[in-house]
């Protein structure tokens, strides 16, 4: 990936300083428009159009026609870099990475959330989601909170068909770009809101015809990373998707830890009554740069979680490390082996695995819906014991413990002599300091006693 990172840095530098495009999104958008232009020359993309895709293609065409007033040498330099990038994306070396995501990250800052609350998905987690539900050629993968297409890009990489819905206009343009610059079947992309009837109808039409019969190219798998905040109604989005696809579909969904326990009981109960929660994979705490602790939840649509056991496991470490100005990367190539072992554990539901636990969700109380964090055993030390006894004795005698601590600390810091002897630190206080400290506390005790009487 170092070659790709260097190429993106060069493109960013040309656009920022030669083309004078200061806004990060504008640089991503212009780069995307040039890449889309190459794809339109390379193969017939019009066959993939929906009205929403056609509109975005026109936006890209308008962007390509802008004159930034640069010299021919600068323009040719950028053209050469864009050609290299396009050829690399469509080569056998390409790993299905979310290119628009990489560009957003490289062109100044790491991606955070969109205006609609989505937390964008790292590439290796997109891989894990696809692998845990066994996405393969012939599948039709739906992501109805598609973002810029990280999950659908992974579906295309596995030669599956991609179908996506995204609400945010800017993000939708990047989703279309991600699909356009790759050869693959992504003919069903829509800009819509999964909290509306229109969104639900789009999902329904992806599986059923007007007579309610299942379509030959109906959705067979779901990959989803919905917005996390309660204000964006993530459980409603999931329910609206699951309620409108055929039963028996495996779905990989990213959600914050304990989300199912914290959301509205009615909607969570609906989700779990009508769909079966099969597995929960607790992801490492540092997977998302936003600091959100997330788990991967695997569902089967049209079944029920009631009276069913759920296999859970904690992925403590994904092997990635943070690279300065480059985000988290698998610089030591640990992830393939880590993922392979994890998938084997989950597939066999290995109860002897170090962090594996079987839970049985309670749909009445909505408990046991997350990977169960081990309870730290209660421990008490001799120091805790002595502190409790001394605090109690001083309380009975009316000693002001706070002031006593302050006096002793001042005495140790300013009146003591400190020496090292036989691997021990000796603190010596002058007798007058010792007597003065406790004499003050004795007088305070007597004053309190007199006031009480």
Q: Model-level pTM greater than 0.85? A: no
- At 111 the pLDDT is 46
As a whole number of angstroms, the distance between CA 350 and CA 442 comes to: 65
Q: What is the pLDDT of residues 5-14, one digit of tens each?
A: 889 999 999 9
All domains of the chain in start order, with CATH: 111-359 (3.40.50.150), 382-452 (no CATH)
Residue 414 pLDDT exceeds 70:
yes
Categorize the per-residue pLDDT at 97 as very low, low, confident or very high, splitting at 50, 70 and 90: confident
Q: Name the pairing type of β-strands 321-323 and 327-329.
A: antiparallel
Tell me if 113 sits within 8 A of 290, measured CB to CB: yes
For residue range 224-282, what is the model confidence (pLDDT) as tens digits?
Answer: 999 999 889 999 999 999 999 999 999 999 999 999 999 989 999 999 999 999 999 99
Supply the DSSP symbol for 137: T
Position 357 scores a pLDDT of: 94
Q: Cα 251–152–109 angle (5° rounding)? A: 115
User: How far apart, in whole angstroms, are the C-alpha atoms of residue 229 and residue 118?
Assistant: 9
Burial 301-332 (b: 16+ CB within 10 A, else e): bebebeeeebbbbbbeebbbeeeeeebbbbee
Q: How many whole angstroms separate alpha carbon 15 and alpha carbon 26?
A: 9
Please choose, from the candidates 341, 272, 342, 279, the residue with its C-alpha nearest in 3D space to the C-alpha of residue 311.
279
pLDDT digits (tens, 9 = 90+) for 328-345: 888 899 999 999 999 999
């Amino acid at each position: 990936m170092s070659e790709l990172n260097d190429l993106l840095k060069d493109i960013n530098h040309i656009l920022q300083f030669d083309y004078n495009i200061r806004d990060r999104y504008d640089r991503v958008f212009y780069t995307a428009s040039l890449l889309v232009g190459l794809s339109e020359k390379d193969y017939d993309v019009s066959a993939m159009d929906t009205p929403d895709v056609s509109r975005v293609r026109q936006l890209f065409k308008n962007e390509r026609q802008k004159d930034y007033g640069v010299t021919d040498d600068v323009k040719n330099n950028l053209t050469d870099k864009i050609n290299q990038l396009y050829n690399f994306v469509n080569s056998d070396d390409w790993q299905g990475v979310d290119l628009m995501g990489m560009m957003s990250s490289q062109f100044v800052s790491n991606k955070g959330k969109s205006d609609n609350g989505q937390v964008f998905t790292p590439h290796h987690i997109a891989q894990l989601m696809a692998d845990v539900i066994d996405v393969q050629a012939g599948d039709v993968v739906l992501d109805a909170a598609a973002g810029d297409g990280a999950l659908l890009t992974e579906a295309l990489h596995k030669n599956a068909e991609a179908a996506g819905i995204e609400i945010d206009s800017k993000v939708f343009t990047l989703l279309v770009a991600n699909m356009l610059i790759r050869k693959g079947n992504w003919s069903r992309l829509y800009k819509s809101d999964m909290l509306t009837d229109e969104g639900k109808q789009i999902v329904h039409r992806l599986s059923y015809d007007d007579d309610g019969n299942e379509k030959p190219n109906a959705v067979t798998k779901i990959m989803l990373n919905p917005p996390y905040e309660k204000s964006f109604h993530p459980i409603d989005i999931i329910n609206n998707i699951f309620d409108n696809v055929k039963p028996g579909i495996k779905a990989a969904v990213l959600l914050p830890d304990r989300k199912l326990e914290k959301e509205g009981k009615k909607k969570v109960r609906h989700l779990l009554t009508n769909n079966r929660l099969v597995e929960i994979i607790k992801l490492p705490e540092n997977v998302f740069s936003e600091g959100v602790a997330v788990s991967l939840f695997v569902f089967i649509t049209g079944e029920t979680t009631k009276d069913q056991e759920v296999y859970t496991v904690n992925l403590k470490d994904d092997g990635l490390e943070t690279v300065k100005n480059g985000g988290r990367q698998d610089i030591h190539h640990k992830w393939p082996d880590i993922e392979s072992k994890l998938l084997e554990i989950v597939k066999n539901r290995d109860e002897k695995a170090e962090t594996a636990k079987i839970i049985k969700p309670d749909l009445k109380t909505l408990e046991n819906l997350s990977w169960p964090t081990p309870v730290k055993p209660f421990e008490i030390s001799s120091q805790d014991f002595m502190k409790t006894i001394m605090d109690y004795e001083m309380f009975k005698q009316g000693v002001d413990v706070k002031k006593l601590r302050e006096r002793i600390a001042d005495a140790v810091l300013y009146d003591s002599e400190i020496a090292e002897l036989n691997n021990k630190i000796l603190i010596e206080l002058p007798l007058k300091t010792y007597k003065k400290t406790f004499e003050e506390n004795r007088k305070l005790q007597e004053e309190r006693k007199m006031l009480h009487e």
